[in-house]
Amino acid sequence: MFLHVNAVKHRHDFTLRIEFSDGSIRDVDLTDELRGEVFEPLRDPAVFIQVKVNPETRTIEWPNGADLAPGFLHEKGTEVTQVA
């Protein structure tokens, strides 16, 4: 079974709340992942909050084309047991 992203919401700073196709919800802090040419612009909070789910690739993506694999996000995230 392939893992996909169903929904994403900006929480604070560089942390996203992501709902995955396996039913899990995880908070993912990407502070340490925003390195390199394509990810450096995301260090600007005004750009970072523009994250969306790409309906074709079914993962998160930013307007500059930066994206991250659902499996990576799932592994990096901390499971949310109570949705606030």
Residue 41 φ/ψ region, left for φ over 0, alpha for ψ in the -120 to 50 degree band, beta for the rest: alpha
Per-residue pLDDT of 56-81, as tens digits, reads: 999 999 999 999 999 999 999 999 98
CA 75, distance to chain mean position in Å, is 12
In a domain, 41, yes or no: yes
Two tokens at 67?
């994206």
Is 28 a domain residue? yes
Number of structural domains, the chain?
1
Which residues make Cβ contacts (< 8 Å) with residue 65, sequence separation at least 6? Answer: 38
Give the list of residues 6+ apart from residue 18 with CB closer than 8 angstroms, or none.
5, 7, 8, 9, 25, 26, 27, 28, 60, 73, 74, 77
Question: Within a domain: residue 70?
Answer: yes
Residue 1 has pLDDT above 70, yes or no: no
Residue 13 sits in a domain whose CATH number is 3.30.2020.10
| pTM of structure | 0.93
84 part of a folded domain = no
Q: Which domain holds residue 60?
A: 5-79
**pLDDT digit string (tens) for 32-44?**
999 999 999 999 9
